[in-house]
Structure 1
């Protein structure tokens, strides 16, 4: 999700558009995870740019803003202090529906060694955190349903725009049946670490 990431919609695929019933329709190609990796390995995707694969679409991420970067660093330090777990920062996870997003922070089960030769999957995720400012709507309407469909048990959106923490739990289809909105003075204990209370003000900075 990370924050400050923009969905750049392609307007041509291989330079071709097709006219159907007198209406111009854009023909788009869906990429598999294997396609996506191959394009990265062969240099088709520029190495100086960042991308995510979301439902078979390759999305270019815009540069990260200073407030987003600061908040990610703040939360990362907090996670290392609080959790005895694998902390993954802006690294990919492999999901169903031909998707490979790069959440801002992912708390993973197990040990670092088990991810040496494979990407984490949804079953490895204990808590997923997205830092969101200009991409708030995108994170809420595109990435959050994807996380629910993959049954990631808990997602936090650090909503910089409104200075609040959005907590999503109990995945049910493409939604979460429980949503909490917390302000600075409140605290939250992750489902995977019920004994650990986190102050919202320590997340939002």
Structure 2
């Protein structure tokens, strides 16, 4: 019987892989889709909106490392996380307030692979912006491999992250 090799997080981090373009989800390596212009534009807009609204209350990381022990290394489009010194480690779910994924061609992957991994890790809130469906999918309250609360937000509507209920954001389109 042929079985795929499952990588540990430590093995993955030692592999001679390109700077970007791959993620480790529960021991399996996935090639990330190239970033299109629409996707890049929306990620930049989210970055501007989040940094302006949150100021010094949180850090915002754009397409950077995020580790969910024991076997997941991803690069979410945006990670909103606690202030602190991350020179010696990557942020983990205990540091995270919110993960934002922008999906143009990767909606199925984000919903079936990444969102369950975020839930298993205990990330309190995940937003998946579906560019093709013109909607924001909001996932809150992780429970095992899923989220108990799911909200669909339409273009032009506003919402606040759970960690910052006083910060009302308009979803960039």
What is the CA–CA distance in structure 2 between the aligned matches of 1:59 and 1:179, rounded to whole Å? 26
Asked which structure has the greater CA Rg, the reply is 1
What is the match of residue 146 of structure 1?
Answer: 117
What is the match of residue 124 of structure 1?
Answer: 95
Please, what TM-score do these two structures have when normalized by structure 1?
0.80
What is the CA–CA distance in structure 1 between the aligned matches of 2:100 and 2:107, rounded to whole Å? 13
Greater relative contact order (Cα < 8 A, sep 6+): 1
Structure 1 residue 123: deviation in Å? 0.5
Structure 1 residue 94: deviation in Å? 1.0
Structure 1 residue 50: deviation in Å? 1.6
What is the CA–CA distance in structure 2 between the aligned matches of 1:130 and 1:137, rounded to whole Å? 12
Superposed CA deviations along residues 173-194 of structure 1, whole A, max 9, x for unmatched, are 1111101101113110111111
- Choose the corresponding residue for 1:177, options 142, 148, 152: 148
What is the CA–CA distance in structure 2 between the aligned matches of 1:59 and 1:185, rounded to whole Å? 33
Superposed CA deviations along residues 4-35 of structure 1, whole A, max 9, x for unmatched, are xxxxxxxxxxxxxxxxxxxxx43210011111
2:160 counterpart of 1:156: no
Superposed CA deviations along residues 123-173 of structure 1, whole A, max 9, x for unmatched, are 000011000011101101111011011111010011101111111101111
Larger strand proportion of the pair: 2
Unaligned stretches of 5+ in structure 1? 1-24
Aligned length: 171
What is the match of residue 31 of structure 1?
Answer: 7
What is the match of residue 12 of structure 1?
Answer: none
What is the match of residue 68 of structure 2?
Answer: 95
Superposed CA deviations along residues 74-105 of structure 1, whole A, max 9, x for unmatched, are 10111111113111110111102400011000
Instruction: After TM superposition, list the pairs within 5 Å mapping 1:1-205 onto structure 2.
Output: 25-39=1-15, 43=16, 45-47=17-19, 50-84=21-55, 85-111=58-84, 114-200=85-171, 203-204=172-173
Please, what TM-score do these two structures have when normalized by structure 2?
0.94
Runs of 4+ in 1 over 6 A off after TM superposition: none
